[in-house]
């Protein structure tokens, strides 16, 4: 299996621009997670989906962030408008079943975002 695929791997944009990050989970996995990693705050869970339905978006920082999962093989995380403080590495992860306490998550390689 190809693993979790994220695109782009690197993104440089200017403040105020819209940014769209993409994720393809492992085929057959039913849960999908978006994380943000920064030096200051570490790894933060932004949102997760079960069977394409958003379950918990309490980690989404503000209304500028939105996430969708139109089907089982694709998800997007959008930031509009972007700000310099959004600069971070964004990870997508998937797990085989409905999110449970013991589930292993499989992470993508991440998208490194720099907002100037």
User: Residue 73 Cβ, how far from another protein at the closest point, in Å?
Assistant: 18
The whole-angstrom distance between residue 36's C-alpha and the CA centroid of its chain comes to 7
4 or 115: whose CB is closer to another protein? 4
CB of 111 vs another protein, minimal distance in Å: 11
Name beta bridge partners: 44.
Answer: 36
* Minimum distance from residue 72 beta carbon to another protein (Å): 20
Binding site for another protein (CB under 8 A): 4, 42-43, 45, 55-56, 91, 93, 99, 101-102, 104-110
Total residue length of the chain:
116
Spatial CB neighbours of 28, under 8 Å, sequence gap ≥ 6: 96
Encoded tokens for 84: 């310099």
Q: Which is closer to another protein, CB of 68 or CB of 112?
A: 112
**Closest separation in Å from C-beta 83 to another protein:** 23
Return the number of the residue (31 or 82) whose C-beta is nearest another protein: 31
Of 8 and 83, CB closest to another protein: 8
Contact between 82 and 17 (Cβ < 8 Å): yes
Strands 10-13 vs 111-115: parallel, antiparallel or unpaired: parallel
């Amino acid at each position: 299996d190809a693993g979790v695929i994220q695109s782009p791997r690197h993104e440089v944009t200017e403040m105020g621009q819209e940014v769209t990050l993409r994720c393809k989970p492992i085929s057959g996995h039913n849960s999908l997670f978006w994380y943000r990693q920064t030096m200051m705050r570490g790894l933060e869970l932004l949102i997760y989906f079960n069977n394409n339905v958003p379950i918990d978006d309490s980690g989404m920082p503000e209304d500028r962030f939105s996430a969708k999962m139109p089907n089982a093989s694709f998800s997007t995380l959008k930031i509009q408008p972007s700000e310099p403080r959004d600069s971070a590495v964004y990870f997508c992860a998937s797990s085989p079943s409905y999110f449970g306490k013991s589930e292993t998550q499989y992470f993508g390689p991440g998208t490194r975002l720099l907002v100037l």
